[in-house]
Amino acid sequence: MPLTSFVGREREVAGLRELLRRSRLVTLTGPGGVGKTRLVIEAVRRRGTRSSADAVFVDLGAVSEDTAVPAAVAASLGLSAAGPGAAGAALTEWLGQRRVLLVLDNCEHVVRACAALAAGLLGRCPGLRVVATSRASLGVPGEAVWTLAPLNLDESRRLFLARAREARAAVDFGPGEDEAVLAICGRLEGIPLALELAAAQLAVLSPAEIVPLLADRLVDDLRRLAPARQHTLRASIEWSFDLLEPVERTAFARLSVLTGAFGRDAASQVAGADVSSLAALAAKSMVYVIEGAIRTRYRLLDMLRAYGLERLREAGEETSVREHHLAWWVARAEAVCGRGTRPGSTEGFEQLCEDIDDLRSALRFAAERNPATGLRLMASTRELWYRMAQAEGLERCLRFLALCPESGADRAYALLAAGRLAITVQDHALADRVLAEALSLAACSESPGIEPLARFLLGVSLFLSARLDEAELELARAAELYGALSDRCGSGRSSATLGVVAFFRSDWQAATDMLERALATLTAEDDQWGEGLCHTYLGLSAREAGRFDAAERHLLRAMERLAPVRDVAILGIALAAYGALELPRAPRRALVLAAAAAARDGAGGRYAPRAQADIDRVRADATRTLGAEKATDAWEQGSRLLFAQAAALALARRSRQEPPRPGGLTRREHEIVDLVAAGLTNAQVAQRLQLSPRTVENHVAHALAKLGARNRTELAARLAGSDLSSG
């Protein structure tokens, strides 16, 4: 939501709302800085509670390629699609019969892709309405176009004064200064962005001091051949730039290589902008501040960034700054992800995911000027592409591999990245080919991690393409190699996947035994994804064996571990299975969870038959129980949930019920005993829960007494025997 007040435009807001009621596609056009985005936001906000349509806002300003538009829209809905075609299909399925108002903001640079997407979705989704902002219309049949004019003089004055009071709270203009204010507004011709930039300077200048500076700039600007309003806006940007201190000008120009929002670290490392420079630029409206719960981020508006790039080129610095930006990305990615089995820092990885648009910018430069470094960067960010944009990551990997045919560790790890991404889009032939090449490079590489990861991924590809015997051989070899490297996470994941293979052979006991051993290892390593994988298939195995309480416990634990790590592979399976358990006691809740799980088609591929059978059965049985109308409503509710939101819904039910724990254990005792049963030592439990070893020792002693167990082995056995009816 905007942090500043909305000023004027009452007629335009009313007109746009009326147009949106009459037309399914409305495009708001006008010059840059005229306030198109802000007007749409205000019109949508004023719809009130009477509108039954959900509003979805998609900022396309950072999208630089036509092919990325469907994926950007899908991502705004929480869908992670495997490519443009898959994204379009996922959007069509998600929108379906829903009533949705889709706002496509900043379309001008990808107008053809926006036009094609809007036309296609409107033709297939009867409840959809689209409003676009662009400097040119989309050209789609049936499109209603509203061209937004600049503010009139009175509205300009009101906006300028409102922003002036934000820049200098005690501002109180007298008659003489009001004349200067009117002169500023007249010269800036009602362009809101220009007015806001000028108002920001009131922190250090009076209106009378601003007028001649602005006038001088306009005299030069009027000699240019561009339209007058573009002159005015550019003049205000140039004028604001000229008022910066030299160090601020340098920082601003260098910041222009950063795409989208960025943090203080990027500003400092790439542009040399410290906190004081950022504060000065923000105070002068050259940088916008995005307040966050954890960290503050910053952004340059597109037109300001474009201007900054011009100045950077004029100074002859663009290539060197972009090289520095690329090198910073490599160092950052390798520090967070390294080349191990998983990222080393959860917080650092989340920040990488937030900055994916800036990563794309670095990779575009690398493809043109430094492909070898781009290949290295793709190798280091393979986990990010797996969780965020599988098909795009695969395409980029293949492009850099083609540009860099030389053998070496970078190529091997990029091949591993391509193999994993090929698996997610179910191109197993491609996966087999690139993983085979990675294995051939492993033989002559000094990096010992290549072969076990290649064999693990090859085992996954074989397993998913129903070649179970071959898969077992590769996974067993991967586990052996990881063991030789003392990589407990890698060996645990390999062993867990062998347990999954046993599950698909319908050998529930073998699956349970292997998964429990793997779980102990992965829990000790605090590998959330690996734990989630184990708990999911332990839950499925327990359900097949008729141990429904244990199944519920494992599935809920799977959700707890998988939801925070942006999983797109296993969490939906756990949701579907848990929905099937909920069906007899809460059919509506079961249907909501199944609908949320069904959205995975846009987030990583089709389900295996068992998981799809859970979804289909829940939908059919719940519809018979609830009736068609209530079932449709529940399904639509669930379809709007992200995986993490659906997991939170399931977990909230458990926390409200809080049934008795076995043996009268307290919540903390139960938590500690769970970890003990998973194979952790007291010291490991203490480190995991941030307790002292003595506190853990006391809790274990109390649990032993309550459950009548003599040692830790009996404690785990008694706990398992209770079937943990606590759920």
Tens of pLDDT, residues 612-655: 899 999 999 999 999 999 999 999 888 878 788 888 888 876 65
Could you tell me which residue, 94 or 494, shows the higher pLDDT? 494
Could you tell me which residue, 726 or 447, shows the higher pLDDT? 447
Produce one character per residue of 236-272: b if its CB has 16 or more CB atoms within 10 Å, e if not: bbbbbbebbeeebbbbbbbbbbbbbbbbeebbbbbbe
Question: Cα Rg for the chain, rounded, in angstroms?
Answer: 29
Assess whether pLDDT exceeds 60 at residue 205: yes
Across 666-673, average pLDDT: 71
Tens of pLDDT, residues 327-383: 999 999 999 887 777 777 778 888 888 888 899 999 999 999 999 999 999 999 988
Across 140-162, average pLDDT: 86
Produce one character per residue of 44-80: b if its CB has 16 or more CB atoms within 10 Å, e if not: beeeeeeeebebbebbbbbbeebbbbbbbbbbbbbbb
Tens of pLDDT, residues 588-601: 999 999 998 887 54
Assess whether pLDDT exceeds 70 at residue 232: no
Q: Which fold has domain 10-147?
A: Rossmann fold (3.40.50)
Quote the CA–CA distance of 7 and 547 in Å, as a whole number. Answer: 63
CATH 3.30.750 is held by the domain 323-447:
no
Quote the CA–CA distance of 268 and 416 in Å, as a whole number. Answer: 33
Quote the CA–CA distance of 130 and 119 in Å, as a whole number. Answer: 10
Quote the CA–CA distance of 498 and 471 in Å, as a whole number. Answer: 8
Look at phi and psi of residue 173 and say left if phi exceeds 0, alpha if psi is from -120 to 50, else beta: beta
Among the listed ranges 51-65, 111-125, 133-147, 701-715, which one has the minimum average pLDDT value? 701-715
Query: What pLDDT sits at residue 219?
Result: 39
Query: What pLDDT sits at residue 227?
Result: 47
434: its two tokens: 């690139």
Indicate if the alpha-carbon torsion angle 686, 691, 697, 700 is positive or negative: negative
Quote the CA–CA distance of 474 and 289 in Å, as a whole number. Answer: 50
SS3 101: strand
Query: What pLDDT sits at residue 646?
Result: 86
**Residue whose entry in the numeric block shows the structure tokens 């929905």:** 579
Q: Name, in order, each residue with C-beta under 8 angstroms of 78's C-beta and a sequence gap of 6 or more.
A: 599, 642, 643
Tens of pLDDT, residues 311-326: 999 999 999 999 999 9
CATH class of the domain at 246-316? mainly alpha
**Residue whose entry in the numeric block shows the structure tokens 């590769």:** 474
Query: How many of the other CB atoms lie within 10 Å of CB of 370?
Result: 17
Quote the CA–CA distance of 693 and 713 in Å, as a whole number. Answer: 19
Query: What pLDDT sits at residue 229?
Result: 45
> Which letter does DSSP use for residue 599 in this model?
G
Tens of pLDDT, residues 491-526: 999 999 999 999 989 999 999 999 999 999 999 988
Average pLDDT taken over every residue of the chain: 83
Quote the CA–CA distance of 337 and 334 in Å, as a whole number. Answer: 5
Quote the CA–CA distance of 558 and 560 in Å, as a whole number. Answer: 5
667: its two tokens: 């919540």
Query: What pLDDT sits at residue 282?
Result: 81
How long a stretch of residues is the chain? 727
CA–chain centroid gap for 396, Å, is: 18
